Structure 1
Amino acid sequence: MPSKIHYEKYANWRPFWKKLKRKKNDQIYNVVNVSIEEFTATTNYLRNRLPFELTTPKVAIICGSGLGQLADVIENKVEFAYEEIPGFVSSTVQGHVGKLIFGLLGDKKTPTVCMAGRFHFYEGYTLQQVTFPVRIFKILGVEVLIVTNANGAINKDFKVGTIGVINDHISLPGLAGSNPLFGPNLSAFGTRFPPIFDAYDYNLREIAFKAAESLKFPKGTLKEAIYAFYAGPSFETRAEARFLKSMGSDLVGMSTVPEVIVARHCGIRVLGFSLVTCMLSIAKVKCADPAEQDLNYVEEPQVNHEEVLQVGKERASDMQKLVGTIVDLIA
């Protein structure tokens, strides 16, 4: 926790600090009406603890389940535990380290900020809390957000280990809760009704495939995909998976879309990756009615979070190389 000296040094921040600070066992609070001054106060808190070369990162990376090792390739690191940062909440899910890491990435030493672990709607946080860091990135000067996740596939064309390059998403109110822009519009960041039809930047997607080619990844390692946001924290039922597939979804996960919407509202360009860690069943459940039973029915294995984390570890090296190369190409 901050010392007495710290509080005296930043006494003028106290009104913002008190409003943003959360109690350990009271993580639910309404940040819909957070002002630009409060976002600025959090940004200044970080900048005052960073060397000058890291105060204006150009790229931000959000790491999904098991993908926190992306931060291992960042040099000259300065790390902040989420609990130390005013306005941030805690990451409570296995596979999410819970650190904000600043440093230099790639051969061109691009100033970068990385979330080693993210926040989720299903952890009990509001979508405004989940996306709070994205607006901090905007004030810091971030121009490109690379958001990653580890998820299940419902399209048989995708295999475990495939890296989905997200080109569109589906988010239904009944499945994923409300939009993170719900409430008074923060006009300092963007318009009341931002267009999301081009949420995933075409040029960045092109660069992603060029990077994969330069790294000599096998053909098909990267594959464009439509991503469906599902609230969680349970994995989808078979009927839900079939429903989402019928709408055109290739992959299903419990994150990413809220951050992307807020990033686009802020004018940040987005590149999204979804690592396929499991295949979701779309087969109908076994019928208990003897008259309707399928004698050839084969039970499919159940999905589990440990499988998700394991595949993330196995593909960590490829993801590190890919993201580092992309950042160099962007720079």
Structure 2
Amino acid sequence: MLLEQIETASQYIKDKTGQFKPEFGIILGTGLGALVKDIDISFSISYSDIPGFPVSTVESHSGKLIFGELSGKRVVCMQGRFHYYEGYTMQQVVFPVRVMKWLGIHTLLVSNACGSLNPEYKISDLMIIKDHISLFLPQNPLTGQHFPEFGDRFPDMSEVYDNILVERAADIAKANSITTHTGVYVSVTGPQLETRSEYRILRQLGGDVVGMSTVPEVIAARQMNMRCFGLSVITDIGIPETLEKAELSKIIAAAQAAEPGMTLIMKELLTYL
């Protein structure tokens, strides 16, 4: 039973971390693991050691749960996430977020690498997510048996990403001269990248960037009444007229180039919480 699996995993983690009680959860995306270097680490647990936890199979996703302090706040950080395209169910993809809630998390900060649909965005720019469009349908982390312990069966999604955090992040970026946009993230299943025609359609739908993660975790977090903040790094350009072949090495390099700015925003944002 899912609830029992969550309780078992969270109890295992509590036994390993003792009196450490995190309040903020962080999920690091492709090529964005360096934030961990700024955490005053108290505990590190491999995903493979946690009962019921999936294991990262994607290159650049380390697969560790990091506990410590960042900007004076107690955090638990996922160094590597899970994707639907890896063969996991949506319930498995969001399992760590459910466990975080059981550990006491009330705010979730999520990062990802993505492709730009907006011609004004450049490689290694950052985008603060103000809203999203989910194209994972018919897959959804809330389908199937409903557990009242998670929250509402039909959770409201009119303000998925906390407006106050969105505004503060934009102010932080401006004050530190970090090139940042505010826009809409479109989620797709992947793992293939989009065709020229698909990029056109996604832009027409209102998307500014497209990626293969984030939305399932945020949906689950909002159901459990967590505050959510999302930050995307532009790692490739999906403009049909100028489309170039994407390469993983270039994507990771672009993410790493943007990482200092992302890290600063995340760290500064925590000081407000």
Taking structure 1 as the reference length, what is the TM-score of the superposition?
A: 0.80
- Check the 8 A contact 1:77/1:102 in 2, yes or no: yes
Aligned-residue RMSD, C-alpha: 1.3
Please list the CA deviations of residues 223-254 of structure 1 after superposition, one character each: whole Å capped at 9, or x if unmatched.
Answer: 11101001000111111111111101000000
For the pair 1:130 / 2:97, whether they are aligned, the reply is no
Match of 2:2 among 12, 19, 34: 34
What SS does the aligned partner of 1:151 have? strand
For the pair 1:212 / 2:170, whether they are aligned, the reply is no
CA distance in 1, matches of 2:105, 2:113: 24
Corresponding residue for residue 291 of structure 1: none
Corresponding residue for residue 73 of structure 2: 110
Corresponding residue for residue 164 of structure 1: 127
CA distance in 2, matches of 1:111, 1:211: 21
* Deviation of 1:177 (Å): 4.5
1:179-190 paired onto structure 2 within 5 Å: 179-190=140-151
For the pair 1:301 / 2:244, whether they are aligned, the reply is yes
Question: Structure 1 stretch 156-165 or stretch 121-130: which is displaced more?
Answer: 156-165
Corresponding residue for residue 294 of structure 1: none
1:31-180 paired onto structure 2 within 5 Å: 33-35=1-3, 37-52=4-19, 54=20, 56-106=21-71, 109-173=72-136, 176-180=137-141
CA distance in 1, matches of 2:244, 2:135: 27
- Check the 8 A contact 1:177/1:231 in 2, yes or no: no
CA distance in 1, matches of 2:41, 2:236: 35
CA distance in 2, matches of 1:94, 1:322: 25
CA distance in 2, matches of 1:66, 1:235: 17
Q: Which runs of 5+ in 2 are unaligned?
A: none
- Check the 8 A contact 1:230/1:252 in 2, yes or no: yes
- Check the 8 A contact 1:62/1:116 in 2, yes or no: yes
Larger strand proportion of the pair: 2
* Deviation of 1:222 (Å): 1.5
- Check the 8 A contact 2:231/2:262 in 1, yes or no: no
Please list the CA deviations of residues 259-309 of structure 1 after superposition, one character each: whole Å capped at 9, or x if unmatched.
Answer: 0000000000100011001101323xxxxxxxxxxxxxxx74211221110
For the pair 1:311 / 2:254, whether they are aligned, the reply is yes
* Deviation of 1:51 (Å): 4.0
* Deviation of 1:210 (Å): 2.5
CA distance in 2, matches of 1:189, 1:89: 20
2:76 counterpart letter in structure 1: V
CA distance in 1, matches of 2:181, 2:59: 27
CA distance in 1, matches of 2:104, 2:125: 32
Corresponding residue for residue 321 of structure 1: 264
* Deviation of 1:206 (Å): 1.5
What SS does the aligned partner of 1:233 have? coil
The higher radius of gyration belongs to: 1
How many residue pairs align between the two structures? 273
For the pair 1:242 / 2:205, whether they are aligned, the reply is no
- Check the 8 A contact 1:227/1:252 in 2, yes or no: yes
Corresponding residue for residue 263 of structure 1: 221
For the pair 1:252 / 2:210, whether they are aligned, the reply is yes
- Check the 8 A contact 1:151/1:252 in 2, yes or no: yes
2:145 counterpart letter in structure 1: P
CA distance in 2, matches of 1:68, 1:143: 22
What SS does the aligned partner of 2:16 have? coil
What SS does the aligned partner of 2:149 have? coil
What SS does the aligned partner of 1:66 have? coil
Q: Which runs of 5+ in 1 are unaligned?
A: 1-32, 284-298
Structure 1 pair 238/230, CA: closer, same or farther in 2 (3 Å)?
same
- Check the 8 A contact 1:154/1:241 in 2, yes or no: yes
The alignment-based identity, stated in percent, is: 39
- Check the 8 A contact 1:211/1:325 in 2, yes or no: yes
Please list the CA deviations of residues 87-145 of structure 1 after superposition, one character each: whole Å capped at 9, or x if unmatched.
Answer: 11111111111111000001xx2100000000000000001000001111111111110
